[in-house]
Chain A
Amino acid sequence: MMRKPTKFFLLAKTVILIMAASLCTGCFGGRETDEVAIILAVGIDKGKTAPLEVTVTVANPKAFAAGESGGGGQEDPFLTASVEGPSIWECYLLFNSFGAREMSFQHTRAFIFGEEIAREGLLKYINALLRYREVRRNSSLFVCQGTAKEFMQKNKPRLEASPAKQYEFMQRMSQITGLFPDSDIHRFYITLKSLHSSPTAALVGITRGEKAEEKTVQPLRVPYYAGEVPQAGGKSNAEFIGTAVFRKDKMIGKLTGDESRTMLLLSGHFDLSTFTLEDPQHKNNVITLRLRQGKKPDIEFKRQGDKLLIHEKIYLEGEFWYIQSGENYEDPKKKKIVEEAFDRQMEQLARQLVNKTKEKDYGDIFGFDRYYRKQLSSWEEWEKLPWKEIYDQADIVIDFNTNIRRTGLMRKESLTKE
């Protein structure tokens, strides 16, 4: 026979249920959306009166709320503020001293470091960020030509309501243009910690008011760093082009747009880009190709005495976008001429970039050490590997293998009547 539950048990169950319901809501740490200021981007520079100057771009909820009631069209969708302090978290504390809302990093899309501070080393700042649970490792990491503060103050994306969306889209643009690496805190940190190769980060900058330094534009070259693109009236005054190169955690150099693209090709991180080359049969004419990585590069290592031979094959495939001369390169035999010409020119660019990394002491920015790990037999051997020296002395041979598979929407161009 089962007895009915006593009043005590019913009461105990009710109390436990109420306690559980109230305690499990996480109310202790709960923050309503109108209690927090959402930081979209963080800029870090050297301070004038303190070691650091931190700049934040914060979403302005008034702009969105006012839009609904129809009265707030003048409100900026985001606000930018700076403060100086001895550490990132001290600055965070100071930010909270002049705002009613608590700063939140949960939706921060980008961390931008000024060039000066990047040259002194980033590890100590990234370490500080990675300990905090709100900071996302996959947030973008940019190095700014000039100061991050100036970049964030002047960055006014004209097509986006918020810079967060701009940074998120710019990550995708890296895959479409190949003119800067898709860098985030995670990849930078893992390269720094786990590999012998040199980490890289995307370069950003504000369009200079005056005309950028004169550059001789050659086919296959995009010889600009961020801030130097000869644009006028574009979608934004923020430019994302080029690469900041690091040795350990210190920035030691830069790559231009086309060098960045070549670096991505050699490292196997290239996705898609448009290439304009000189017509091999009609000088002063150009051909434009839209190419993507056909498959991951093949990399072989051979010992040649004391030296290492690194032989890399890069596979590209794509289509014609433009044949200025009207030559019938769609013909399979003639297509080979373009493919050959393109491959040789790209191989030359790759050689020049590899030489630049050796001359300027950049080290291995292509991540060849990731592939070389297969040649080793133990972790101890990997840890003791003098990869920088091996890379500097290595013979590096790059072969491009391009297949122009399609011709766009035209089968061939017919001759125009005289």
Chain B
Amino acid sequence: MKRFPGAPGKRPALGLIMVKENFILLREGKIGFAEGFSLLYISSLTSLFLTLPSKVIEDGKNMAWLLFLITIIMVLLAFWIVSELMRRQQDMTLIEATETLLGPYVGMLVNTVFFIYFVIREALLFREYAEAFLVAALPRTPISVVIAVLVVAAFTSAYYGLETIARAARAALPFVVVGLVTLYISVLPYVDTSFFYPLWLDKPLFLLGKAFLDYTSTSELIASAVIIHSFGGWQFYRRIGFLTLAAAGGTILITTVLILFVFGVQGASELILPFFNLSQIISIGRFFQRLESVFLLTWAMVGFFKIALFLYISTVILARMFRLADYRPLLWIVTLLCLVLSILPPDLPTTLLLDGILIGNLGLIPTVLLPFVLLLVSWVKRGVKE
């Protein structure tokens, strides 16, 4: 019998192989609503701890809140497209659905796009998180060591499987939420609500364009469709997806508004890690200050979950494309690929630029455009059948 070292206890996390319409489907184990929500919520929060709020404020100025609100609505619409596709292709993940709808060759090509997207996302996450650690906390640690720690952590977590990552996320969620709420309350003395004004804008279309082109591309839109079986059906997947994206969007929106209120438009636009700066100014009395090291833990925790999840998803996409029963033989090679890609950008500004182009702009292709095309094909095929 095949050995499943990552599955302690009675139930193997992997290995139940389901054959449907010639597809070999991996089953990653079941995760409940709370676990699924925690996993995707924490994963969606990562950008909050990096440069995103600063970029949103730079683009939206005083109306950054509206820019992000539009983004949330667009992301939810995009998720509706993906979820509608998954409803029509029940009992399949996004990878099998693509092959079913587009045929083996085009399907494989599109799945390769999904795979490349996640590998690039993972590589940039490795690099951005490592750089962020260096900037904020570990200035003398070689970046290779920091990336190596992230890689080992991601590899170990991905090796143990989705169920393990999701359960750990469920346990971590209260700490993340308490950390954020504490931060929100603690920075209130520095809030200047006059930065909310002027309360309108000259170029509403510019804001709409920015929201769609730069910010709607969210990896979690399709990430959840790759692990849809774990949620126990598309209805649960859709509920968790909508709730997660709305909650994470709301959290990022609140934090962005706070950063705007504390640093102003120009001040916030300059920052590379605005969340770190926000935690750095907390000062309540003589003893409740210098808390950034505490927030770094929250920050690191969130980052570790995201890189673990995305490494897992990248590998699972490849395993599904190759119709393998187990994704773990591919884990080494995908990890190595991400690691190699992560050290290619020469510096942090280039990494951020690449992130903006590859994930922000071009990321619309795998996260919005391709699911939309797949949905259209699904409609057309259904129409022809009927």
**Chain A min CB distance to B140 (Å):** 4
In the complex, what residues of A have CB within 8 A of residue B61's CB? 379
Give the total of B residues in contact with A, Cβ under 8 Å.
Answer: 44
Nearest CB in chain A: distance from B116 CB, A? 29
Which chain B residue shows the least CB distance to A24? B149
Distance from A279 Cβ to chain B, minimum over Cβ atoms (Å): 38
Q: Is B346 an interface residue when CB atoms closer than 8 A count as contact?
A: no
Contact B139 A380 (CB under 8 A): no
Smallest CB separation, B63 vs chain A (Å): 7
Q: Are the CB atoms of B194 and A370 closer together than 8 Å?
A: yes
A29 near B140: Cβ-Cβ < 8 Å: yes
The answer to whether B152 touches A16 (Cβ under 8 A) is: yes
Judge whether A101 is part of the interface by a CB distance below 8 angstroms: no
Closest Cβ–Cβ distance, residue A161 to chain B (whole Å): 14
A3 and B3 in contact (CB under 8 A), knowing A16-B156, A186-B190, A376-B198? Answer: yes
- Are B267 and A379 in touch, CB under 8 angstroms? no
| Residues 117-153 of chain B, each 1 if its beta carbon lies under 8 Å from chain A, else 0 | 0000000000000000001111111100100110011
In the assembled complex, which residues on chain B have CB atoms less than 8 Å from the CB atom of A378?
198, 200-202
A137 to B289, CA, bound (A): 12
Give chain A nearest CB distance to B80 CB in angstroms. Answer: 32
CA distance A166 to B180 in the complex (A): 32
A381 is contacted by which of B3, B192, B198 (Cβ under 8 Å)?
B198
For residue B251, CB closer than 8 A to chain A, the reply is no
On chain A, the residues within 8 Å of B140 by CB distance are: 28-29
Residues of chain B within 8 A of A304, CB atoms compared? none
Asked if A382 and B198 sit within 8 Å, CB to CB, the answer is: yes
Stretch at the interface among A52-60, A86-94, A187-195, A404-412: A187-195
Residues of chain B within 8 A (CB-CB) of A373 are 194, 197-198
User: Do the beta carbons of B263 and A23 come within 8 Å of each other?
Assistant: no
Assess whether B199 is interfacial by the CB under 8 Å rule: yes
Query: Is A100 positioned at the interface, with any CB of B under 8 Å from its CB?
Result: no
- Within the assembled complex, what's the spacing in Å between the Cα atoms of A20 and B153? 9
Q: Which of A106, A195, A370, A379 is the most central at the interface, judged by chain B CB atoms within 10 Å of its CB?
A: A379
Residues in B neighbouring A333, C-beta threshold 8 A: none
Number of A interface residues at 8 Å Cβ cutoff, please give it. Answer: 36
Say whether B266 contacts A23, CB under 8 Å: no
Question: Are A193 and B198 neighbours in the complex by a CB distance under 8 Å?
Answer: no
Residues of B within 8 A of A168 (CB): 286
CA distance A29 to B137 in the complex (A): 8
State whether A106 and B267 are in contact (beta carbons under 8 Å apart), knowing that A16-B152, A373-B197 are contacts in the complex.
no
| B281 A374 Cβ-Cβ under 8 A | no
Determine if A371 is an interface residue (Cβ-Cβ < 8 Å): yes
Given that A3-B3, A376-B198, A377-B198 are known contacts, is A186 also in contact with B264, CB under 8 Å in the complex? no
Contact A28 to B142, CB < 8 A, known contacts A23-B149, A186-B190:
yes
Docked Cα-Cα span, A5 to B7, in Å, equals: 11
B219-249 near A? 1/0 per residue, CB < 8 Å: 0000000000000000000000000000000
- Distance in angstroms from A180 CB to nearest chain B CB is 19
Check if A382 sits within 8 Å of B192, measured CB to CB: no
Closest chain B residue, CB of each to CB of A132: B139
**Contact A374 B264, beta carbon cutoff 8 Å:** no
Nearest chain-A residue to B8 (Cβ)?
Answer: A2
**Do A26 and B141 have beta carbons less than 8 Å apart?**
yes
Residues of chain B lying within 8 A (CB to CB) of residue A371: 194
Q: Is A281 an interface residue (CB 8 A)?
A: no
Which residues of chain B have a CB within 8 Å of any CB of chain A? 1, 3-5, 61-63, 135-142, 145, 148-149, 152-153, 156, 190, 192, 194-195, 197-202, 263-267, 270, 277, 280-281, 283, 286, 289-290
26 contacts between A and B (CB under 8 A): A2-B4, A5-B5, A16-B152, A16-B156, A23-B145, A26-B141, A28-B145, A29-B137, A29-B138, A29-B139, A133-B136, A138-B283, A190-B192, A190-B263, A194-B263, A194-B264, A373-B197, A376-B197, A377-B199, A377-B200, A378-B202, A379-B62, A379-B63, A379-B198, A379-B202, A379-B265
Q: Which residues of A approach B to under 8 Å, CB–CB?
A: 1-3, 5, 9, 16, 19-20, 23-24, 26, 28-29, 106, 133, 136-138, 168, 186, 189-190, 193-195, 370-371, 373-374, 376-382
Known: A190-B267, A194-B265. 9 other contacts (CB 8 A): A20-B152, A29-B137, A133-B137, A137-B277, A186-B281, A190-B192, A370-B192, A377-B198, A380-B202
